[in-house]
Amino acid sequence: MSSSRWLAYFQCTLAMAMGGAVVVAGKFLTHAFPVFLAAGLRLAMAVPVLIALVLLREGRMPKLTKREALALFVCGFGGIFMFTVFLLFGLRYTTAAESGIITSTVPIFTALISVLYLKERLNSWGGLAVVLTMVGILAINLSGGDATGRGPNPLLGNALIFGCVVGEALFTISAKMVTARISPLATAAYVNLFALVTFLPFALYQMVSFDFTTPEWPNWSALVFMGLGISVLQFMIWFAGVSKVPGSVAAVFTGVMPVSAVLLSYAVGGEHFNWSHLIGMTCVVGSILCVTRGATTSEPASRQAPAESPGVS
C-alpha cells in the first residue's frame, strides 16, 4: 500500500477523532459561558480565518445564486445553530460520553430522512443499521448505574443531544442542494458566516452582562479548539484525506468519532466507565459499517459519490 494512502487514512482518522472531541470541549464550555455567547465567540474566530483562506486559494468569495444561498443558510442553521444550541444545553444534563455516541448516529438518521422525504430506498444493510442504532440508544438511556455519573437528568440531556442529530441531518440533506462549482472551503466559509449572523443578536445580548474574567484557561482552550481546531483545521484535514480515497472507504472512518468521544470523556473529562457506553458505542460503530456496506453494494465503485463533509459543527 502506498504511503499516500496511509497518510490519507491517518488524516481521516485524525479528523474524526477531533470530531469526537467536540462534545468533550463542549462540556468545558457549557458551565463557563452562556450558550449563545460561546457559539458567537467560536464563530467570530473561525469566519475571518476561513474567508482569508478562500481569498488566498481562490482569489475571491464565489457569488451565490438564491438557491445556493438558501441551501447554505439552512446548512448553517441546522449544522451549526441547532447543533451547538442542543449540544451545549444537553451537556448540562448528560455526559460527554453518551452525547458523543448519540451524535455519531447522524449517518443513520440522515439515511432515514432520505427514505422518508427523498423517496430513496433502504436496503437490508440500511435496515440492520437502523436496528443497531436503536439498540445502542436504548442501551444508553435505559441503563441503570450511578445517576450522578450520568449527569443530573440524562434522559432530558440525551433528548436534547438528539436535536444535534436532527440539525446535522438537516445540514447533510441541504448540502446536496449546493452546486459542485463552490469549493468545500468556500462552502465552510459561507456556512459559518451565515451561522454567525444567526447567533450574533443572542451573543451580543449575553455579552453585555457576562464577566469575561470568570472562565479559566481550560474553558478558553476549549473555545479556541472549537473555533479554530474544528471549524477550520478539522475541515481541512478531513478533505485532505477524503480526496485520496473512495467515498465508501472514507465513510468507514466516521466510526472513529464515537470511540474518540467516549475515550476522551474518560481521559480528559473525568467521566466514569459504564457498560452501556460500550454497548452503545459498539452498536453505533456497527450501524455505520452497515450503512457503508449498503452504499458500497448498491452502487458501483465507479459511480460512488465522494464522502460527505464531516460537518462544520
202-244 tens-digit pLDDT:
999 999 999 999 999 999 999 999 999 988 998 889 888 877 7
**Does 122 or 57 have the greater pLDDT score?**
57
pLDDT score at 210: 95
pLDDT at 110 over 80: no
Residue type, 103: T
**Cell 460503530 belongs to which residue?**
285
- Contacts of residue 173, defined as CB under 8 A and 6 or more positions apart, other chains included, come to 110, 113, 114, 117, 118
Least confident of 7-21, 48-62, 182-196, 242-256: 242-256
Cell output for 86: 442542543
Cell output for 37: 455567547
pLDDT at 31 over 90: no
Question: How far apart, in whole angstroms, are the C-alpha atoms of residue 264 and residue 248?
Answer: 26
Of the candidates 151, 174, 136, 149, the one whose C-alpha atom is nearest the C-alpha of residue 258 is: 136
Cell output for 131: 436496528
Question: How far apart, in whole angstroms, are the C-alpha atoms of residue 177 and residue 179?
Answer: 6
Question: How far apart, in whole angstroms, are the C-alpha atoms of residue 170 and residue 82?
Answer: 10
**Cell 479548539 belongs to which residue?**
225
pLDDT at 306 over 60: no
**Does 59 or 120 have the greater pLDDT score?**
59
**Does 70 or 170 have the greater pLDDT score?**
70
List, as one string, the DSSP characters of 103-160: HTTHHHHHHHHHHHHS-----HHHHHHHHHHHHHHHHHHT--S-TTTT-S-HHHHHHH
pLDDT score at 122: 65
pLDDT at 288 over 80: no
Encode pLDDT of 186-200 as tens digits.
Answer: 999 999 999 999 999
**Does 233 or 304 have the greater pLDDT score?**
233
Question: How far apart, in whole angstroms, are the C-alpha atoms of residue 77 and residue 87?
Answer: 14
pLDDT at 307 over 50: no
pLDDT score at 310: 56
pLDDT score at 47: 96
